[in-house]
Amino acid sequence: MSILARKRRRDFLRRSGQYLAVTATVAVGVTLFAASFDAFQNLSASYEHTYDRLAFADLTIAGGDTDTIESAVTADAGVAATHTRSVIDVPLTFDNAQLFGRLVGMPTSGQPPVNQVDVLEGRYLEPGDGETAAMVVRQTAEHFDLAPGDTVDVSVAAGTVRLDIVGVVTSPEYLWLARSRQEIFTTADGFSVLFVAEELAAAAGPTVEDQVVARYRDASRTEEIDARLTAAARSGGSSDVEIRDDQPSNAALREDLDALGKMSFLFPMLFLGAAGMAAFILLSRIVSAERAQIGTMRANGIGARAILRHYLGYGITVGVVGAGLGILVGAGIGAAITSIYTDALGIPDTVRRFYVLTAVIGLVFGVVMGALAAWAPARRAMAVAPAEAMRGEIPRQTSSVSLVERLVPPLRRLPARWRMTLRGLGRSKRRSVSTVLGVVLAIVLILASWGMVDTVADSIDRQFNQIQANDAQLVPDEPLDQDLLDRVAAIDGVASVEPAATLAVTIAGADAYATQLTAYRPDTTMRDFGGEPLPNDGIVAGAAIVDLIGASVGEPVRLTVPAYDVEVTTELAGVVDEPFGTSAYVSIDHAAELLAQHDLGIELLAVPGVGLVLVDYEQGVDRDQMRLELGAQHGVGAFVDSRAVFDVVQGFLGLFYALVGVMVVFGGLMAFALMFNTTAINIAERSGELATLRANGLTSREAAQMVSAENLILTLIGIPFGLALGTMAADGLMSSFNSDLFSFELAIRPSSYVSVTLAILLIAGLALWPGLRAMRRLDIAEVTRERS
């Protein structure tokens, strides 16, 4: 080892606390990056592995002339496999629990070429099963503790059919159990999926949907093939074309994954920026303190470039060590996050790899940060004139009255120690700016994370407590009539009852979008449409739809209803802002008018699968009891508890909250490391004058108060900037997640600002502690002896 390298090693040991703080900040930043990027890659790979293994469809086409469409799709050179099937939503009953379910038609001769299932328990359908067997999705089986041999009752057109459960399966279409893009969040006791013989699904009811599903040969040409097949589907009369990215389960999983992907670069950059600042300040101080040594080395023949390399080496060493630690720890955490995620969501395949790319990027981050931070101090070291340094002359500092004293002249009459504190802020501008920036970065990290939590909580509250006012939804298995409404209204605990209807539609302006159209009474109390009543001569749509179809309020839009094979034109009469899902709404009266254009009667809004009963409870009722009583009513095929969906949403966000919690802790650590370093350097730079003041009677407490006050003022300066930038960062982050699935409006609680402020002040106080302890232990004699 060269002498200079040995010097560097011993310097690291001598100032181990400070170097450790900087290295730890680098390590945390790279850990965050490696963990989230690895988890992102692992989860993407896990999903893709499952999708490949189970031949997940790249495209799903519903409605239109199925035969024509299938021929066109099969003939396309980019398509590897095609399959047609029937899908229908019907009421199901598991062990007295009534819920809404989906029947998906499957061939009994073997797995289909597209959209296969993973049999977890029991077996796949067999020809000998006839139309009496079903495979149930894992989520339902877990919730109701079902196993092969149990039964399920299904309400079809011909009446109620009892099916034997022969298998418990996972499907790539329902890794996340979502009914539609408008109903991403469903409860396991509110929605289920059964895979049944194709013949059973095809004959289950009038609202059955014929689908063509396709898998492509070459994933790299997906967009091109999507466009071709979409055109073919439209030519065949279909208006409902769903690419894989839009498939509800995949879309929900991808949203989550995208969040991880975004955070894997954004937040680590904050850490590395803070670490860079801390390293820069530390190395600047070291070069200043070692001027005499540098001059001596130069005078004795060590070249300027060697000096440059020596001091660059400090930064690069910190960067490499920190990055190395971060890569190792991050890889472990990333693998753990992957496992936790796939376990929690029941993803059948878990891919965990060591990604060389992650390690390389992490190392590059560390080296670049270290080199950038060390560059200016190293250049200064290189430029030290040997003669100047050996004379021990320190460049004269020009001082002046502080800016705040110039702005507020009466401050010049403060006691001298307060003026010393105020002017200490400008004494080393680099260090002061670094402290303020460290506070700002920490607050941005903490508040951006905390703001996301507040916003999501607010969105959930708005969606489930303000917008959606009904407590339960009943799905009739017979045509909805007044008798059912009256019976439900008469039950103790029911405050109000309304009829509603929901249809799958495609809305088109310049572009088309497949969604749900729900009809309410014009004076409905079951949903809030921005404080306005439903219009009588048009529809109201979610804000995201309006953007997607390129329409404006007052313009005509086309509605295609595949179930009745009709298209009508109406006006886009209004826009609503809803956090979850993007649907359209219409009054029952106007819906009847639209149907009448095609000689269709209002009774179509009451058929099973379309008609709904919305129920609002009285305060304080036993929800489980209400479920039993309402579900037991004749004519009720399924029961959906709106409150249970709220709980599912909270569960979905559990991992998100955990990740945010980690960000908050790491943000605090970053602030601590930065402030610890700047305090230590502050004290080291002034050891001579502090020792002299102590020799002349200043107590260690008084000296500590001066240094603490400086840090506190810098922290207070950083706080408003941090809060403002943190708010902007939170807004930017939440906006980046907006899609037709989610629409978030930033809503940070005032108490969160207070909490973040108090947290930073606490961290600032804790970060001062080691430095102040060192100051209390200042050896006055040794310091003054050294100076002499």
Cβ of residue 418: shortest distance to other proteins, in angstroms? 10
**Which residue is it, tokens 């992957």?**
338
Tokens of 668: 């605090």
Segment near other proteins (CB under 8 A), from 181-189, 661-669, 697-705, 752-760? 697-705
Q: Return the number of the residue (305 or 396) whose C-beta is nearest other proteins.
A: 396
Q: Return the number of the residue (422 or 588) whose C-beta is nearest other proteins.
A: 422
Q: Return the number of the residue (45 or 420) whose C-beta is nearest other proteins.
A: 420
Member of 68, 293, 350, 700 binding other proteins (CB under 8 A): 700
- E strands, 30-189, where? 59-62, 79-94, 97-106, 118-122, 133-137, 151-156, 159-170
For residue 435, give every residue at least 6 positions away whose Cβ sits within 8 Å of its Cβ, in sequence order, or none: 674, 675, 678, 711, 714, 715, 718
Size of the site for other proteins (CB under 8 A): 34
Of the CA atoms within 13 Å of residue 530, those in its CB half-sphere come to 14
Member of 74, 111, 692, 755 binding other proteins (CB under 8 A): 692
* 300-335 b/e (C-beta count within 10 Å ≥ 16 → b): eebeeeebbebbbbbbbbbbbbbbbbbbbbbbebbb
Member of 160, 597, 699, 736 binding other proteins (CB under 8 A): 699
| 693 sits near other proteins (criterion: CB under 8 A) | yes
Element (H, E) at 777: none
Q: Return the number of the residue (108 or 288) whose C-beta is nearest other proteins.
A: 288
Residue 675 and residue 764: Cα distance in Å, rounded?
7
Burial of 562 (0-12, 13-18, 19+ CB in 10 A): buried
Element (H, E) at 115: none
Cβ of residue 392: shortest distance to other proteins, in angstroms? 9
Residue 552 and residue 556: Cα distance in Å, rounded?
9
Cβ of residue 705: shortest distance to other proteins, in angstroms? 13
Q: Return the number of the residue (175 or 693) whose C-beta is nearest other proteins.
A: 693
Q: Return the number of the residue (141 or 693) whose C-beta is nearest other proteins.
A: 693
Q: Return the number of the residue (224 or 779) whose C-beta is nearest other proteins.
A: 779
Mode of pairing for the β-strands spanning 159-170 and 556-561: unpaired
| 773 sits near other proteins (criterion: CB under 8 A) | no
Q: Return the number of the residue (415 or 750) whose C-beta is nearest other proteins.
A: 415
Segment near other proteins (CB under 8 A), from 147-155, 229-237, 340-348, 419-427? 419-427
Member of 96, 109, 300, 399 binding other proteins (CB under 8 A): 399
Segment near other proteins (CB under 8 A), from 130-138, 412-420, 557-565, 660-668? 412-420
HEC string of 232-265 equals HHHHCCCCEEEEHHHCHHHHHHHHHHHHHHHHHH
Site string for other proteins, 662-691 (x = CB under 8 A): --------------------------xx-x
Cβ of residue 668: shortest distance to other proteins, in angstroms? 31
CB count in 10 Å sphere of residue 154:
24
Q: Return the number of the residue (402 or 570) whose C-beta is nearest other proteins.
A: 402
Q: What is the CA radius of gyration of the chain?
A: 34
For residue 336, give every residue at least 6 positions away whose Cβ sits within 8 Å of its Cβ, in sequence order, or none: none
Residue 634 and residue 91: Cα distance in Å, rounded?
13
* Chain mean position to CA 551: 29
Q: Return the number of the residue (424 or 535) whose C-beta is nearest other proteins.
A: 424
Q: Return the number of the residue (180 or 692) whose C-beta is nearest other proteins.
A: 692
Which residues 290-319 are close enough to bind other proteins by CB under 8 A? none
Q: Return the number of the residue (695 or 762) whose C-beta is nearest other proteins.
A: 695
Segment near other proteins (CB under 8 A), from 217-225, 519-527, 696-704, 720-728? 696-704
Tokens of 145: 């503790």
Cβ of residue 690: shortest distance to other proteins, in angstroms? 9
Member of 328, 698, 717, 761 binding other proteins (CB under 8 A): 698
| 409 sits near other proteins (criterion: CB under 8 A) | no
Residue 686 and residue 523: Cα distance in Å, rounded?
74
| 423 sits near other proteins (criterion: CB under 8 A) | yes
Crossing angle of helices 687-695 and 700-736, in 10° steps, is: 140
Q: Return the number of the residue (295 or 334) whose C-beta is nearest other proteins.
A: 295
Q: Return the number of the residue (147 or 289) whose C-beta is nearest other proteins.
A: 289
Query: Tell me, what DSSP letter sits at residue 534?
Result: P
Under 8 Å between Cβ of 195 and 104 = yes
**Which residue is it, tokens 């390590």?**
27
Member of 2, 398, 552, 619 binding other proteins (CB under 8 A): 398
Cβ of residue 9: shortest distance to other proteins, in angstroms? 23
Crossing angle of helices 654-685 and 700-736, in 10° steps, is: 150
Segment near other proteins (CB under 8 A), from 5-13, 40-48, 398-406, 712-720? 398-406
Cβ of residue 401: shortest distance to other proteins, in angstroms? 8
Member of 221, 406, 643, 785 binding other proteins (CB under 8 A): 785
Residue 187, classed as helix, strand or coil, is coil
Cβ of residue 784: shortest distance to other proteins, in angstroms? 6
Residue 718 and residue 446: Cα distance in Å, rounded?
14
Tokens of 509: 């302006």
Cβ of residue 299: shortest distance to other proteins, in angstroms? 22
Q: Return the number of the residue (397 or 619) whose C-beta is nearest other proteins.
A: 397
Residue 128 and residue 464: Cα distance in Å, rounded?
46
Site string for other proteins, 162-181 (x = CB under 8 A): --------------------
Residue 330 and residue 30: Cα distance in Å, rounded?
7
Cβ of residue 405: shortest distance to other proteins, in angstroms? 11
Mode of pairing for the β-strands spanning 133-137 and 191-197: antiparallel
Member of 128, 409, 415, 531 binding other proteins (CB under 8 A): 415
Q: How far is CA 630 from CA 153, 611, 666, in A?
A: 18, 16, 49
Cβ of residue 717: shortest distance to other proteins, in angstroms? 17
Residue 460 and residue 666: Cα distance in Å, rounded?
26
Segment near other proteins (CB under 8 A), from 296-304, 305-313, 543-551, 694-702? 694-702
Residue 397 and residue 394: Cα distance in Å, rounded?
9
Q: Return the number of the residue (600 or 780) whose C-beta is nearest other proteins.
A: 780
| 569 sits near other proteins (criterion: CB under 8 A) | no
Under 8 Å between Cβ of 567 and 600 = no
Site string for other proteins, 358-397 (x = CB under 8 A): --------------------------------------xx
Residue 168, classed as helix, strand or coil, is strand
Q: Return the number of the residue (634 or 701) whose C-beta is nearest other proteins.
A: 701
Q: Extract long-range pairs of 410-415: CB within 8 Å, 24+ residues apart.
A: none
| 650 sits near other proteins (criterion: CB under 8 A) | no
| 416 sits near other proteins (criterion: CB under 8 A) | yes
Tokens of 22: 């900087």
Q: Return the number of the residue (633 or 784) whose C-beta is nearest other proteins.
A: 784
* Chain mean position to CA 539: 31
Cβ of residue 692: shortest distance to other proteins, in angstroms? 4
Which spans of this chain sit near other proteins (rule: CB under 8 A)? 396-400, 402, 415-417, 419-420, 423-424, 426-427, 688-689, 691-700, 702, 780-781, 784-785, 787-788
